[in-house]
Amino acid sequence: MSEISKELKIEYQINVLEHIPKSIWEDASLSNFYLVDAELRNGNALIRFDGNGEPY
């Protein structure tokens, strides 16, 4: 990702929604990966549901 950013001279963000162990990017020494699962707990989610099970 760093190389693409340098080549294109832009900054960008990619959100990957996948359940993988963080050892995948840690073992590969990928410096541009961040775990944000703590932000998606206790009812905080990308897609939320109301009391009737409807997304909002």
- For residue range 11-50, what is the model confidence (pLDDT) as tens digits? 777 777 677 788 888 898 887 777 777 777 777 777 778 8
The end-to-end CA distance of the chain, in Å, is 32
pLDDT of residue 17: 67
Residues in the chain: 56
Q: Which residues contact 32 (CB under 8 A, 6 or more apart)?
A: 1, 2
pLDDT of residue 27: 92
Q: What angle do CA 29, 33, 38 make, to 5 degrees?
A: 125
Q: Which amino acid is at 25?
A: W
Q: Where are the domains of the chain?
A: 20-56
The whole-model pTM stands at: 0.41
CB contact at 8 A, 2 and 31: yes
The tokens for 44 are 């905080």
pLDDT of residue 33: 78
